Every structure is written in structure tokens, then in C-alpha cells.
């Protein structure tokens, strides 16, 4: 069983990670007016054809980065939810305890190594 001290440390780590991701999202994207989804900010480099190609490439990279950030955010939010319902550190698949070393390395883990493979 995970100690209360360990789980509190993990919760604080996850809260900080979530805050950092949200800050990065705000830097790279804007929320839709209805606050449902994020849209990548579009950089306007100029009016030349070469500029448009670069703009498109940069935009595609930003979209991929935002997608990754949103996936990370969802994983962290799920882990935080597990704190509040008392299931943090329990594998979502086999219901066995997730190894402490795995949680130290990847606090948002919701699966044990065996089930995540």
C-alpha cells in the first residue's frame, strides 16, 4: 500500500505538471469561444509563397504538439481523479498495485508495467 506521504507528493507533482501543461497550451493555442477545444495559434510570417509554406509547416507542428499536450493533460487529470476516488496507484486493468518506482518515474500512470505492455 502506498504511504500517505508518497501519495501527497505525487498529487503535488501532478498538479504542477497540469499547471505547466495548461500554461504551455495557452502559449501555443487559444480556446474556442465555447471553451470546448483548443485551436493552434497561426503565425503569419509574410505574404511570400515561401512564407506560406513555412507557416503551414509550423502550424502542423503546433497542432501535433497541442494534441500531445492534451493527451498528457487528460492522463494527468485521470490520475488526479484517482486520488479523489481512492484508486490512485491501482492498475485500471488488473486492479493490482502499480509499482512505486513506476509511479515515481511516471506519476500519471494508470496501468502497471505488465498491463501497459
Boundaries of every domain in the chain: 4-88
Q: What pTM, to 2 d.p., does this model score?
A: 0.80
43 vs 108, more confident: 108
- pLDDT > 90 in the chain, percent: 62
pLDDT exceeds 60 at position 57:
yes
| pLDDT at residue 60, as a whole number | 84
pLDDT exceeds 60 at position 46:
no
pLDDT per position as a tens digit, 11-24: 999 999 999 999 99
User: What per-residue string of b and e applies to 11-50 under the rule 16 or more CB within 10 Å gives b?
Assistant: bebbeebbeebeeebeebbeeeeeeeebebeeeeeeeeee
Amino acid at each position: 500500500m502506498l504511504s500517505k506521504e508518497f501519495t501527497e507528493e505525487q498529487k503535488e507533482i501532478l498538479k504542477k505538471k497540469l499547471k505547466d501543461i495548461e500554461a504551455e497550451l495557452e502559449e501555443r493555442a487559444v480556446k474556442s469561444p465555447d471553451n470546448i477545444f483548443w485551436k493552434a495559434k497561426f503565425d503569419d510570417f509574410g505574404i511570400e509563397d515561401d512564407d506560406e509554406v513555412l507557416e503551414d509547416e509550423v502550424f502542423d507542428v503546433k497542432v501535433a504538439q497541442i494534441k500531445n499536450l492534451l493527451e498528457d493533460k487528460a492522463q494527468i487529470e485521470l490520475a488526479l481523479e484517482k486520488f479523489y476516488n481512492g484508486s490512485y496507484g491501482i492498475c485500471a486493468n488488473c486492479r493490482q498495485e502499480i509499482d512505486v518506482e513506476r509511479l515515481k518515474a511516471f506519476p500519471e500512470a494508470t496501468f502497471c508495467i505488465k498491463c501497459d505492455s
